[in-house]
Amino acid sequence: MNAPFATRTLYQYQQRAATFFYERDAGFLIAPLGAGKGAAALTALAELIRDGERRHALVIAPKLVATTVWPLEVTLWPHLAHLRVAVLDGTPRRRRALLAGALTREVTAIGVDLVPWLVGELTALADDHPLLDVLIIDETSRLKDPSGKRARALLKVAGRFRTRWGLTGTPRPNSSQDLFMPAAIITDGALWGRAFIPWQRQHFRLRNPVTDEWVALPGAEAKIAASFGTVAMTVGDEDMPDLPPLNIIETPITLPDEVMASYRTMARELFTTAEGRTIEAASPLIATGKLAQIANGFVYGAGNDDAVFVHDLKIEWLRELVESLDGEPLLIAYEFIEDLRTIRRAFADVPTLSDATPKEAAQLIAAWNAGALPLLAFHPACLSSDTEVLTEHRRWVRIVDARIEERVFDGVEYVSHGGCAYSGFKPVIEVFGLTMTPDHKLLVNGQWEVAANVRDRKDAREAARYEGRAGHVCSLGSLPAMRRNEGSTRTERDAIQQVEACPLRGLHPASLPSYDRHPAIQDLEKYARTLRKSAVAELAELWRAWNSHVPSLVEKLYGVLARHGAVLFGRPDHRAYQQATIR
């Protein structure tokens, strides 16, 4: 994501990759993120078009990559500038119109989320149509699920494409089984066939039938890797000596003694003073957020709009960094909303990706990549610590309890993750039974919307549905037990539709000082009473259920003891036993 140079030429490994693709009608390019796989594939395509061998390429990529990266790619390389690119997005009517105009361009890009629709449109085309010349799949691991609707739909028409290329940086994110479906699509079944189950049983054995866990047979991993290597070119870090190395520079900033004293007091006593004011934290967890604020140069008093100044060391360091870059693009990550305000006070109105629409975000990214936008800020949105995620084997667990080695459900399939990271303390809202920050984005009607703009109603839940495994249609509103003690319909909240909620369920229900009435926890006592009332009601119901069954159980137990007690306890009375048997 650097500003383009005046003249750009392919690296040596990109030249080799372009030659690899030019000479093959089916192949994979495996290279690290940012290695320029798209430029290599487009170079091979341009040469095939030049030589009259092919006319058009259909690119399937993750939605954001399809709409931003591929249209920009041809503008960054002089030898690709003649290629015309269009993105299939918008309404079905608009997409059909763009699809019909494929003869007027060389490249058509589409998001992987629209693959089922695309396959339906391709069915009516003749086999010699330009749209069926070249298929390029960017990030083939998105199609690794053999039961996934997108992968199965694409496999049906893969053989109609004269040339098929796959690009990925993670060919097997979880195991070698992830290679089958991409290989079946790219090679049209020529490598391992088109049926997953027979191939799986040939190379793996079922270790745990309950969790559907499969492990490779002895020697199977090496055999699969060798076979896959016949259709793939791998670019490792050692193959890219001409790439500039990544420089990670950590700049320590020493806080003044008085600031460090305030920091230690907050950590030890859960309060501190700043600008003549006393700032308290209601719990160690809240103190953790306030310590991060002090390190950044401020501390919140009565809320996000009440920031008390502590120091300006970090913003002054950022000023020096911006001046030293002399207009070179800089991407800035901020933690708190006051950090963004401080940045904007220092550098005027710095745009941010956090509250931008998808279209606005694409425009900001394009401007930043082109060097026209010197500063761009962003914030990683977050979920509450009590939000539950669906794990592959343990089912629903709190997001902070998800283990690094287990996979979680992302709405389509089970995927690996890098662990949960603490992002600070912010006000939250509740949407679809989930507690999240207002700027967290949700996919509704095919568009990403910030949570603050999504209404928790029946029609919104229907619009937020997704397609799960094997084409099963689910919706966020019907996910099982997102919260154990609450229903999923939430009809009682239709009037207000969104409420602020407290993610800190473990806090001691103590009274909060007036100067620390954070909007997300000021109703903590009422919230705690609600939880206690709900718990008491559930216990009472359990006790009534138990009492209703106890008499019948006691009666049955008495009968068993009367008939067989003597035998069971080792002192048989043969006459009584015979009489009981006769009766």
| Residue pLDDT, tens place only, 486-544 | 333 334 333 333 333 333 333 333 333 333 334 433 344 444 444 445 555 666 666 66
Average pLDDT of span 89-94: 90
- Which one-letter DSSP state was computed for residue 69? I
pLDDT tens, position by position, 48-74:
999 999 999 999 998 878 888 899 889
The pLDDT value recorded for residue 202 is 95
Instruction: Please give the residue that has the higher pLDDT: either 187 or 510.
Output: 187
Sign of CA pseudo-dihedral 161, 167, 172, 173: negative
| Residue 153's pLDDT band (cuts 50, 70, 90) | very high
- Which one-letter DSSP state was computed for residue 67? I
pLDDT higher than threshold 50 for residue 1: no
Q: Using alpha carbons, select from 428, 324, 443, 352 the residue that is nearest to residue 383.
A: 428
Q: Which residue has the tokens 């000479």?
A: 23
The pLDDT value recorded for residue 429 is 73
pLDDT above 70 covers what percent of the chain? 69
Burial letters for 281-306: b for 16+ Cβ neighbours within 10 Å, e otherwise?
A: bbbeebbbbbbbbbbbbbbbbbebeb
What distances in angstroms separate CA 362 from CA 58, 84, 98, 440, one per listed residue?
A: 21, 19, 20, 17
Beta carbons within 10 angstroms of residue 440's beta carbon = 21
Instruction: State the burial class of residue 84 (Cβ atoms within 10 Å of its Cβ: 0-12, 13-18, 19+).
Output: exposed
pTM of the complete model beyond 0.75: no
Token code pair at residue 97: 């119109």
End-to-end, the C-alpha distance of the chain in Å comes to: 90
Q: Round to whole Å and give the CA distance between 471 and 456.
A: 25
Q: Round to whole Å and give the CA distance between 314 and 297.
A: 7
Q: For residue 432, which amino acid is it?
A: F
Instruction: Please give the residue that has the higher pLDDT: either 567 or 211.
Output: 211
pLDDT higher than threshold 50 for residue 124: yes
